[in-house]
């Protein structure tokens, strides 16, 4: 094992190790008194069967609601009593459970995570309580059209496929959740070689591994997380672009346009990152914002986003405007898309776009919590973590011709459209 522990990527401070039971460990040594550690599970909304809609998110909640050794308030107090925090969230493909704490409390955090992963009870009493909490969460979400429309859009784009399921689930299925079907889901999805244990902070890697071996090195046959037949993911195919209008009686019209793109393993994704940044990716000087907001004054917010999954992906544009300006906004967007498709960026435009994107990524990398979670996700799907300089190198390799070709590949296809009125 000593030989494995010494394998360090010289270009970064990331170390990795694998326990005999299949659990992978990744740790980034970082000189901060604040540490992070957690578990990311390769399981999300798309891993639910139709009768399980909302189950991945429900399990995430239930992990904090009691184990064989602790009641719910004991779980929360374990970290909060030393000023730490325990968090979790669910995506379409992953579930994250992690703690934030002062470095000296690393053993406490590791023991707690082990307890909630291996020993959660999922009692019917707690299930009933948490069901009401999540139903309230769904109701509050319905009051936020600018957020809800993105979930409705994915449901439209991937209609009939699990990846389009709502993360929070639906009342009909939530009402049927019980101890038995939750435990079945956990046994099917939460097996050790389907997880990554991640750590970020100044704890020495040798100590991280020792703590992992102490708390997580259970034999597969001794764990209550027994691998059964994991649900196989099916790649969405034959996506048929369509337009849908939903009456929401909102003061503004909310619109999402979208196009199918690529999965997260596609090497051309760095071109997509740059294209999205130029188009509407989070800056006031993006082409969409400059046109729709600054020049024409038609919107307060317009943005583009890219979403990449393990086997599919899409680029989307969101805007909200006065209902009478909806079609005018769409024509202006189409004008900007046409510019990208027909005219290559000048060398100066390309250079500025690259500098801007790399600057945004560099600033985002100052957030250690974001870094820890990004490292965990990268190691889960790629079994490695690339430092920022590698990402910058990939972006610098992008050419104007590639950006134009990517724009044509994407925007020459019919778009999906969802409108709230």
- How do residues 362-401 score in pLDDT, each as one tens digit? 999 899 999 999 999 999 999 999 889 999 999 999 999 9
Q: Using the structure block, give the residue that is written with the tokens 């970290």.
A: 79
CA 378 vs CA 8, 40, 94, 265, 381: distances in Å:
17, 10, 11, 11, 5
Whether residue 9 is predicted with pLDDT greater than 50 in this model: the reply is: no
pLDDT of residue 222: 52
Q: What is residue 371's three-state secondary structure? A: helix
CA 409 vs CA 27, 272, 288: distances in Å:
38, 11, 19
Taking residues 24-50, what's their average pLDDT?
Answer: 96
CA 168 vs CA 13, 141, 401: distances in Å:
36, 10, 41
Which residues on neighbouring strands pair with residue 34, listed in sequence order? 102
CATH fourth-level superfamily of 2-222: Metalloenzyme, LuxS/M16 peptidase-like (3.30.830.10)
Minimum mean pLDDT range among 9-23, 164-178, 262-276 = 9-23
The structure's pTM equals 0.92
Average pLDDT, whole number, for the chain?
A: 93
Which CATH code for domain 243-420? 3.30.830.10
Whether residue 419 is predicted with pLDDT greater than 70 in this model: the reply is: yes
pLDDT of residue 283: 87
Q: How far apart are CA 416 and CA 24, in angstroms?
A: 39
pLDDT band per the 50, 70, 90 thresholds, residue 225: low
pLDDT of residue 5: 42
Q: How far apart are CA 17 and CA 6, in angstroms?
A: 10
What value, to the nearest 5°, has the Cα angle with vertex 378 and ends 79 and 5? Answer: 75
In contact, 376 and 195? CB cutoff 8 Å: no
Backbone angles phi, psi at 51, to 5 degrees: -80, -5
Q: What are the residue ranges spanned by the domains of the chain?
A: 2-222, 243-420
Assign residue 238 a region (left: φ > 0; alpha: ψ between -120 and 50; beta: otherwise). left
How much of the chain exceeds pLDDT 70, in percent?
A: 95
Domains 2-222 and 243-420 share a fold: yes
Taking residues 113-141, what's their average pLDDT?
Answer: 95
pLDDT of residue 226: 54
Please count the other Cβ atoms lying within 10 Å of the Cβ belonging to residue 132. Answer: 10
Taking residues 236-249, what's their average pLDDT?
Answer: 93
């Amino acid at each position: 094992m000593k030989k494995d522990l010494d394998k360090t990527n010289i270009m970064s401070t990331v170390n990795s190790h694998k326990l005999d039971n299949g659990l992978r460990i990744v740790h980034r040594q970082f000189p901060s008194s604040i540490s992070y550690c957690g578990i990311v599970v390769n399981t999300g909304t798309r891993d639910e069967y139709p009768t399980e809609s909302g189950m991945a998110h429900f399990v995430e909640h239930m992990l904090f609601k009691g184990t064989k050794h602790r009641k719910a308030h004991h779980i929360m107090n374990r970290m909060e009593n030393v000023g730490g925090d325990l968090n979790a969230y669910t995506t379409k493909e992953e579930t994250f459970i992690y703690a934030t704490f002062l470095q000296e409390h690393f053993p406490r955090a590791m023991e707690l995570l082990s307890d909630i992963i291996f020993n959660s009870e999922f009692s019917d009493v707690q299930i009933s309580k948490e069901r009401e909490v999540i139903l309230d969460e769904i109701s509050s979400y319905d009051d936020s059209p600018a957020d809800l429309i993105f979930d409705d859009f994915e449901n439209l784009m991937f209609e009939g496929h699990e990846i389009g399921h709502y993360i929070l689930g639906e009342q009909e299925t939530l009402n049927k959740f019980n101890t038995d079907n939750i435990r079945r889901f956990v046994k099917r999805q939460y097996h050790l070689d389907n997880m990554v244990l991640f750590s970020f902070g100044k704890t020495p890697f040798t100590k991280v591994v020792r703590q992992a071996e102490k708390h997580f090195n259970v034999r597969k046959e001794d764990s209550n997380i027994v691998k059964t037949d994991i649900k196989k993911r099916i790649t969405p195919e034959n996506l048929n672009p369509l337009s849908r209008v939903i009456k929401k009686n909102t003061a503004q019209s909310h619109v999402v346009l979208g196009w199918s793109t690529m999965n997260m393993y596609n090497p051309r994704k760095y071109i997509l990152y740059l294209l999205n940044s130029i188009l509407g990716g989070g800056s006031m000087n993006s082409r969409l914002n400059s046109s729709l907001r600054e020049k024409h004054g038609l919107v307060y917010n317009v943005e583009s986003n890219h979403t990449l999954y393990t086997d599919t992906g899409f680029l989307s544009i969101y805007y909200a405007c006065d209902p009478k300006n909806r079609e005018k906004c769409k024509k202006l967007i189409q004008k900007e898309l046409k510019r990208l498709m027909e005219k290559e960026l000048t060398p100066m435009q390309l250079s500025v776009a690259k500098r801007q994107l790399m600057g945004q990524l560099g600033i985002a990398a100052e957030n250690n919590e974001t870094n820890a979670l990004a490292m965990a996700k990268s190691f889960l799907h790629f079994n490695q973590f690339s430092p920022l300089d590698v990402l910058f190198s990939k972006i610098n390799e992008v050419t104007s011709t590639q950006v134009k070709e990517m724009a044509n590949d994407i925007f020459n296809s019919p778009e999906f459209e969802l409108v709230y009125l």
